[in-house]
Amino acid sequence: MGRNILKSSLDNAKFSIVFQIIFRCITFILNAFIIRVVGQEVLGIMNVRLLLLESTLVFLSREPLLKACLTDTKSHNWTQVINQFWLSVPISAVLGIVLNYIWTDVLSTTDEHYLIQYRWGCYAIVVSCIIGQITHIPILVSQSFCFVKLKVVFETIYITVRTVTFVVLVLRDQNEAINAFSIAQLLSSLILFALYYGFFYWYIEKKKTSPKSDLFKDMNDFKFESIRDFFPKIPKAQEAYVNKELCVLTVSFAKQSIVKQVLTEGERYVMSVSPVLTFSEQSMYDIVNNLGSLAARFIFRPIEESAYFYFTQMLRRDQSLSQQDKKCVVEAATVLSQLLKVVTSIGLVVIVFGYTYSHSLLYLYGGRILTEDMLPTVLLRSHCFAVLLLAVNGVTECYVFATMDNKQLDRYNYIMVLFSVTFLLISYGLTNMFGPVGFILANCFNMTARIIHSVHFISNQYKTTKLLPLQGIVPGKVFIAALVVSGLVTSLSEGYVYQRSLLLHVGIGGVCFVITSLSWAYENKVLLKLGVEKYKRRQSVKLD
């Protein structure tokens, strides 16, 4: 592959972080709008029940295939890959019918006032997911050939259309909020479909007429000659309709996705299956959960996605490290170590500052509605501790998934089943004992177990080398000292300053945050210097 994989992965992480910030800012504003205009019950139906249906269908039908097809893309027979992806479209349709029945006729019902809208919402989610499955064929191509900015631009348009459509329809009739959600979901899915297929139609035609254009630099392996190549067709003679190795890998990831979905959305499944919380309480938990997961959604997830792509291209699943290119192994170990150092540092910052500023954040976001009761504050503080575990688990697990062979993946699937069952049992028990906080405690137990497994796998993989990528988990002493001092200062500020002046309390936190950041920069001068040098080189190339 002529493109620089590391550079493209870093660019993808950077643009994805920007997109996640924009997307989550829109989501938070939208949630505040729904609470004030429509009510908490509607927010619970949409954000917990309907979006859970969407994530379940996506994880079961799309994620396994996407992960498998992103492995070693430079060796792909694209006809087989496209054929395989199209087979998933009818599969997602069948899964959609089954899940729609479960969501409408098996799970606990909504209030009679919202029942018809809720049913139409379930149908809309299933149809939009099928459209999304077809759209992910050009998305796979764009990721494989490093069209980094394309995803951010189109996803931003997608989110904008969905949000604007929803808000306009709700302002016209507040009683039709769930129908507005359904229409916005369908319309935005169709527009994203048109954008991706329209772009590649233009790109392929442009390549035919102007093959020497800078658009096609380092794109000699882009073999698509017509938009029809994105649709299924009969392979050349003596070639299978689909790639058997990718099929085996997809099945492994499918087993893994089922378990991971339970682990990721376990609390929502418990909420939906068991009447632990009302829809209003579910919406409150969802709001606090989203606020508590800011770092995970803005920073950790884009880093994980880009890191997974990077590790799949640098290391081979079917060979030990001693049999692979030493330069690639050293680079991958260095990148893993630096990633762990970055995400662990961010997680510790979230704990220190998030704990003392949880009440302030909730007050600024939702006013007295979210701060009259101490429960939201306790939930958000608990989330701050979970963020550190999310950070470490995300990076270590993405490396593990990127480098395991098929047998190891299958073996890990059984371990994940054990994690899932244990997590659901612990969630149910702790929720009955501690309320919504029990969900967070259960997540912490679950992530700790997964981190231990990933650390064990990585340690075994590198035991025959002198490389120690896991050392990145331990931050520097100066940074730790700065965190301790900042924690003490902000705690005193919350106790004595916050009641008198919110602005001064936030200002004190800002000063402590700057000092903490400078201490981290001091201990990581080499990493920052490397980043600055790369940035300057890129700018000079652009000017030339």
- In this predicted structure, what is the pLDDT of residue 402? 85
Task: Report angle CA 517, 14, 395 to the nearest 5 degrees.
Answer: 75
How much is the pLDDT for 1?
A: 36
What is the distance between the alpha carbons of residues 495 and 502, in angstroms, rounded to a whole number?
Answer: 12
Helix 279-292 crosses helix 326-366 at what angle (to 10 degrees)?
130
Q: What is the model's pLDDT at position 4?
A: 53
152, pLDDT greater than 90: no
Model confidence over 347-380: pLDDT tens digits? 999 999 988 988 888 777 766 766 777 777 888 8
Predicted confidence at residue 7, as pLDDT, reads: 60
pLDDT band at 297 (very low <50, low <70, confident <90, very high): low
pLDDT of residue 179 exceeding 90, the answer is: yes
Please report the pLDDT score of residue 214 as a whole number. 65
- Mean pLDDT for 280-294 is 72
The answer to whether 48 and 181 are in contact (CB under 8 A) is no
Quote the pLDDT of residue 370: 67
Q: In this predicted structure, what is the pLDDT of residue 43? A: 76
Contacts 24+ apart (CB under 8 A), 427-433: 427/266, 427/267, 427/270, 428/270, 428/274, 428/276, 431/267, 431/270, 431/276, 432/276
Distances (CA, A) of 460 to 216, 272, 315, 353, 470: 42, 40, 16, 35, 11
Residue 266: the pLDDT is 72
Mean pLDDT of 164-183: 89
479 vs 39 pLDDT, higher one: 479
- At residue 467 the predicted structure's pLDDT band, cuts being 50, 70 and 90, is confident
> Which has the higher per-residue pLDDT, 482 or 227?
482
The pLDDT-based confidence of 463 (bands split at 50, 70, 90) is: confident
Mean pLDDT rounded to a whole number for the chain: 81
Please state the rounded mean pLDDT for residues 72-84.
73
The per-residue pLDDT for 147 is: 76
What pLDDT score was predicted for residue 359? 86
Query: In this structure, what token pair is assigned to residue 161?
Result: 């259309």
Question: What percent of the residues of the chain are helix, what percent strand, and what percent coil, each to the nearest 5?
Answer: 85, 0, 15
pLDDT band per the 50, 70, 90 thresholds, residue 466: confident
- Cα-Cα-Cα-Cα dihedral of 142, 145, 150, 151, to 10°? 50
Position 39 scores a pLDDT of: 66
Q: 3-class secondary structure for 150-191?
A: HHHHHHHHHHHHHHHHHHHHHHHCHHHHHHHHHHHHHHHHHH
pTM of the shown model = 0.65
Q: Would you state the pLDDT for residue 2?
A: 39
User: What pLDDT score does 430 carry?
Assistant: 84
- Can you say how many angstroms the Cα of residue 57 is from the centroid of all Cα atoms in its chain? 16
pLDDT tens for 207-264 read 787 767 666 665 666 777 888 888 888 777 667 777 777 778 778 777 777 777 776 7
Q: Which of 68-72, 232-236, 242-246, 318-322 has the lowest mean pLDDT?
A: 68-72
pLDDT in tens, 418-462: 887 888 888 878 877 887 788 888 889 989 999 999 999 899 888
Q: What six digits make up the tokens of 346?
A: 């961010």
pLDDT in tens, 394-414: 899 888 888 888 788 878 878
Query: Which of 101, 207, 210, 96 is CA-nearest to residue 145?
Result: 207
Confidence grade of residue 536 (pLDDT, cut at 50, 70, 90): low
Q: What is the pLDDT of residues 10-26, one digit of tens each?
A: 665 566 666 666 666 77
